[in-house]
A and B are shown apart, each in its own frame.
Chain A
Amino acid sequence: MVQVATPKPVFAPWDDPTLAPLIQFKNVTKRFGDFVAIDDMTIDIYEREFFALLGPSGCGKTTMMRMLAGFERPTEGKIFLGGQDIDAIPPNRRSVNMMFQSYALFPHLSVWDNIAFGLRRQKLPKDAISDRVNEMLRLTRLSKFAHRKPHQISGGQRQRVALARSLARAPKLLLLDEPLGALDKKLRQETQFELMDIQEKTGTTFVIVTHDQEEAMTVASRVAVMDEGVMVQVDTPARIYEAPNSVYVADFIGDVNIIEGRATQTDENVHIVWAEGQPNIVGTATDASFGVGDAVHFAIRPEKVSISAEKPADTPNAFEGKILDIAYLGNISTYYVKMPSGQTIKAQTANTRRLSRRDFTWDDSVWVSFTTTAGVCLKG
């Protein structure tokens, strides 16, 4: 059966000026003694978003989450939830729930009682609690384990109990602190989709903290890359990857070649002098404007660099070098090509055929090339 696909409206509330954000950080600063964990942060997060905070440990992402949950208070600035300043509201009265990194399941209570814990605090009638707990158990496929204690179930099941418990009170906002960190890789990938599914079904706004970039890219509607208490870039996963706004972001997400040089000619393209005796790199100018003589960091992903025995004719960006190393990763191979001027450029090819003879080997002279739109020019 053939269906005519009607284009789904794109979910992008951040582009809609008529929508009011669910969460607003307004010039929030958090200090612990002399240490600045969050530095003058302003950000809006919208309803039904799956918002990922990504960064190395100590970048302030956990602090941000703990301020939303109410376990930390901002030193300066204000946080609004649904338009209301939440500074004075203690954690137990916020319609925000959190899923802890350690899951923090109560070891003395059964799965059922763990999920019912928050509902009992709301003084709901018994039937309502029971219905809601059963609904949560069904949602997370845990009905069979309702009467087990946390130590009697596996790690993946524990993760789902933690999720069910934090969703039971139907919070406006769910915070997830490294929710998949304790699971092994395979289980983690399955669970990512489960998490997205549940987020969609319940329509809850999710804010997730992670240091795993793949996880952030998979689940999030928007990703915020953080460093030292500052949000370096907030954007959709695709834009974060393809249009990073800084060397930090480009380097943090995925593999990248960074080539440093200087702009010599700027029209619709930027021409970059980067090594003696090599032709200029020609790249498309992106958001940043460059003047002649400006320092340029040209960032290009290895999979966008081709490798060939002959000089390709269709692009100005073709450079000859020698293969220094080959990393065979099964699905792909990465070639480390050394330029005469000393830089190494990584080029990736997909291994689409099984048992094919490799075209290139160590010390072969090869050409690396890329189109003018393949990379981005960055200021730093």
Chain B
Amino acid sequence: MRRLSWFNTTALTLGFAFLYLPMIILVIYSFNASKLVTVWAGFSTKWYGELLQNEAFLDAAWVTIRVAVVSSTFATILGTMAAYVLVRSGRFWGRTMFSGMIYAPLVMPEVITGLSLLLLFIGIGLDRGVLTIVLAHTTFSMCYVSVVVSSRLVSFDQSLEEAAQDLGCTPLESFFLVTLPIIAPAVLSGWLLAFTLSLDDLVIASFASGPSSTTLPIKIFSAVRLGVSPEINALSTIMIAIVTIGVVTASIVTKRNAVRQQRDEQMAERAGE
């Protein structure tokens, strides 16, 4: 095994401390009994209790989750279609513009995306609310999904689809019976990415939402503008915990599958013939 030099050890320690200390501090202070977020006054979970009493936050959370589920699902369908078009459809009229429209939202400042969508909604007289947020989120996250899925499709062995057709599938059947099950992990991570982006988004949602539909990030933003609050700390802790559990589980499962696959392959080669 290779030993880390003192330089690398220091770089990694300081680096990861920088990445994680702010969040750890946030989590610790969410259990602070004092209203003053900077003075430690003993352990307490009362802010979690208050958070659960706060109807405005709960409503916003509910709106956010609904928007995220619906928009990420639409984004996954549209994004997967777009990826398929980009990777497989060869040349067609307007292909350059199509791929431009896929990649542009990834680098477009959120304020511009938000502004332009809002002007569209006003222009066609669409009342702002949950629907407009869903439309906005679907549009920008489908581009992320299509990038994730198309990078998987590029390495997809096309002869698998041909084999399916050769064995009697129509093109549509071959997509659902062969392609989709194989690229499913990429589609799933596309969905998760879209879901996270939607949960997370403040700027675009602020433009696209109306008075009746406030999402959680909008709520948090307007609360923290006034300063640090222990309730927000508690809320942040919950969100950080969910994400951490999710990411750690996913990476353990991935790693275990990789190890199992490798072991299977080695055994098969050794046992073979």
Footprint of B on A, CB under 8 Å?
69-71, 90-93, 96-98, 100-102, 104, 106-108, 117-118, 121-122, 148-149, 151-157, 165-166, 169, 187
How many pairs of A and B residues are in contact by the CB < 8 Å rule?
83
Can you list 8 residue pairs at the A/B interface with Cβ under 8 Å?
A102-B157, A102-B159, A104-B157, A151-B261, A152-B264, A153-B272, A157-B272, A169-B167
Set of chain B residues within 8 Å of A71, measured between Cβ atoms = 162, 165
Beyond A71-B162, A154-B269, is A121–B169 a contact (Cβ under 8 Å)?
yes
Of listed B167, B182, B272, B273, residue having the most chain A CB within 10 A: B167
Is B182 touching A104 in the complex (CB atoms < 8 A)? no
Is B272 touching A117 in the complex (CB atoms < 8 A)? no
Is B272 touching A154 in the complex (CB atoms < 8 A)? yes
Is B272 touching A104 in the complex (CB atoms < 8 A)? no
Beyond A117-B164, A157-B272, A187-B273, is A107–B182 a contact (Cβ under 8 Å)?
yes
The chain B residue sitting closest to A116, CB to CB, is: B167
Beyond A107-B182, A108-B182, is A98–B272 a contact (Cβ under 8 Å)?
no
- A100 and B158 CA atoms in complex are apart in Å by 11
Minimal beta-carbon separation of A55 from chain B (angstroms): 20
- A165 and B265 CA atoms in complex are apart in Å by 21
Minimal beta-carbon separation of A292 from chain B (angstroms): 55
Is A104 touching B162 in the complex (CB atoms < 8 A)? yes
Question: Residues 191-231 of chain B: 1 if any A CB is under 8 Å from the residue's CB, otherwise 0?
Answer: 00000000000000000000000000000000000000000
Beyond A106-B178, A118-B167, is A91–B162 a contact (Cβ under 8 Å)?
yes
The listed residue (A92, A104, A122, A152) touching B170 by CB distance below 8 A is: A92
Set of chain A residues within 8 Å of B273, measured between Cβ atoms = 154, 156, 187
Footprint of A on B, CB under 8 Å?
157, 159-160, 162-170, 173, 177-178, 181-182, 261, 264-265, 267-269, 271-273
The chain A residue sitting closest to B269, CB to CB, is: A154
Set of chain B residues within 8 Å of A149, measured between Cβ atoms = 264
Beyond A91-B162, A100-B163, is A169–B272 a contact (Cβ under 8 Å)?
no
Set of chain A residues within 8 Å of B269, measured between Cβ atoms = 154-155
Is B168 touching A92 in the complex (CB atoms < 8 A)? yes
- A149 and B181 CA atoms in complex are apart in Å by 14
The chain A residue sitting closest to B162, CB to CB, is: A71
Minimal beta-carbon separation of A327 from chain B (angstroms): 32
- A96 and B163 CA atoms in complex are apart in Å by 11
Minimal beta-carbon separation of A122 from chain B (angstroms): 6
- A169 and B162 CA atoms in complex are apart in Å by 16
Of listed A121, A149, A155, A169, residue having the most chain B CB within 10 A: A121
Set of chain B residues within 8 Å of A121, measured between Cβ atoms = 167-169, 173
The listed residue (B167, B181, B271, B272) touching A108 by CB distance below 8 A is: B181
- A90 and B169 CA atoms in complex are apart in Å by 10
Set of chain B residues within 8 Å of A100, measured between Cβ atoms = 159, 162-163
Is B168 touching A169 in the complex (CB atoms < 8 A)? yes
- A106 and B273 CA atoms in complex are apart in Å by 22
Is A97 touching B166 in the complex (CB atoms < 8 A)? yes
The listed residue (A90, A148, A154, A165) touching B165 by CB distance below 8 A is: A90
Set of chain A residues within 8 Å of B267, measured between Cβ atoms = 152
The chain B residue sitting closest to A123, CB to CB, is: B168
